[in-house]
Structures are given as C-alpha cells and as structure tokens.
Amino acid sequence: QVRLVQSGAEVKKPGSSVKVSCKTSGDTFTSYSVSWVRQAPGQGLEWMGGITPILDRTDYAQKFRGRITVSADESSSTAYMELSNLRSEDTAMYYCARGSGIRINDAFDMWGQGTSVTVSS
Amino acid sequence: DIQMTQSPSSLSASVGDRVIITCRASQSISSYVNWYQQTPGKAPKLLIYAASILQSGVPSRFSGSGSGTHFTLTISSVQPDDFATYYCQQNYRNPLSFGQGTKLDIK
C-alpha cells in the first residue's frame, strides 16, 4: 500500500524558514514526481512546485521562485520542501502529492496527510 | 498563467440528485483537466484525470467530460459520502492551477 507520510506541524517566526518532509513507502520512489500544494485556512489549493527525482528536475510556480527549494533523497524515499523568508500569508496546510508518472504535471494520485505551518511573531 | 473558473461556488443537493459542476479554462487546454474531492480536514482525492478517465476505486456515479476550455464533473446520484468540496485542476502547462472549488452540501 502506497503511503506518503509528512513531518509534523511547525510554528515559525516571520523571516525564518521551514522545511517539510514527505516520506514515500510502498512503491518505487523514482518512478513518480512529487509536488507541493498548499491550502491557506478556508481557501483553495495552490501548487507551489515539484520534482522528478529520477531526473533531479524541479519546477516552481513563479510566485515562489527565490523562496522555495524542492529536493529529494532517493536513499530514504523522501521529498522535501523548504520555504524561506516566511510571512504571515504563508500560514497554511502544506501537502505533498505524488504524480501518477514521472512528469511534474501528471495528475496527483496520492497525497500526504498535510503539515500545518503557522507563521506568527 | 492559465486561470480555472468553477461554477457554482456552492450548491445544495439531496441524496439521489444529479449534480453537475462546471470548470472553464482561460485558454484551450485540450483534455488536461483533473478533478479532486476534498472533505474537511482531509487531503484531496483524485476522482477523474485527463478530463474523463475515472481513477481506480472511484465509484462509477462520478463522470467527467469536456475538452478545450469547458469541462464538467457529474455525479449521477449523490450519496451521503459525496458532500464535500470539488476542485478542477489544469495540468496542461506549469504553473499548475486549480479552480476555486465548489462546495456541495446537503439541502
């Protein structure tokens, strides 16, 4: 059974950084892409960026370029999303989502449980 | 960037009703549309990909159609588990983008 398990909730100060992990089990990590999608309280879904581990290729939404880094560690089947220079508007639930294939823009057929990130002084 | 606009933003239905949710893209995106269902406190779940292909394990009362700029998600007979928020998503071009969501609640 494929599972994506994310790291726990975070509370951060404005201007700091957060790094969220997403560990995949039950399938071949390098056969799929992983994207990060966030959802602010009461709001919709927003794609932030993604990675194709087997190609070590990343793509980011322009809105987050310069602040986001998505990476992957094949040895532990874990993807990471680091967001820097946090502001209050970054308070949200952050989800990792597995693409159905290796392309970053494949449909998201599996999701992590979400990681709550709160940015507050 | 490609904008996805869903309608309605919310709707009420009774168990057994037929429900149609519409999604329009700001430019032609062929059949690169997916539909997700999200219940409160949970991650989204893939229902339909490539506009009309039912994801494995999803009940057949869900169906999708459309191409170009106009897409629909239909629930043929709403069941109690279907009261949730639905999102369309385009995966034609990055940045990937979602519609604003349609909340389906009980009439």
pLDDT tens profile A48-74? 999 999 998 999 999 999 999 999 999
Question: Which of A45, A113, A115 to mutate to test binding with chain B, by most B CBs within 10 Å of its CB?
Answer: A45
For residue A28, pLDDT over 90 is answered with no
**pLDDT tens readout for residues B40-93:** 999 999 999 999 999 999 999 999 999 999 999 999 999 999 999 999 999 999
Partners of residue A104 in chain B, C-beta under 8 Å = 94
The CA distance from A14 to the nearest CA of chain B, in Å, is: 25
Partners of residue A114 in chain B, C-beta under 8 Å = 43
Nearest partner of B19 among B98, B72, B90, B56, judged by Cα: B72
Residue B55: what pLDDT?
98
For residue A27, pLDDT over 90 is answered with no
pLDDT band at B20 (very low <50, low <70, confident <90, very high): very high
From the CB of residue B14, how many other CB atoms can be counted at a distance below 10 Å? 8
Q: Which residue of A has its CA nearest to B93?
A: A105
The reply to whether residue A63 touches residue B43, judged by beta carbons under 8 angstroms, is: no
The reply to whether residue B96 touches residue A106, judged by beta carbons under 8 angstroms, is: no
pLDDT band at B18 (very low <50, low <70, confident <90, very high): very high
Nearest partner of A36 among A66, A64, A11, judged by Cα: A64
Indicate the burial class of A81 (C-beta count within 10 angstroms; 0-12, 13-18, 19 or more): buried
Taking residues B87-107, report their average pLDDT. Answer: 97
pLDDT band at A24 (very low <50, low <70, confident <90, very high): very high
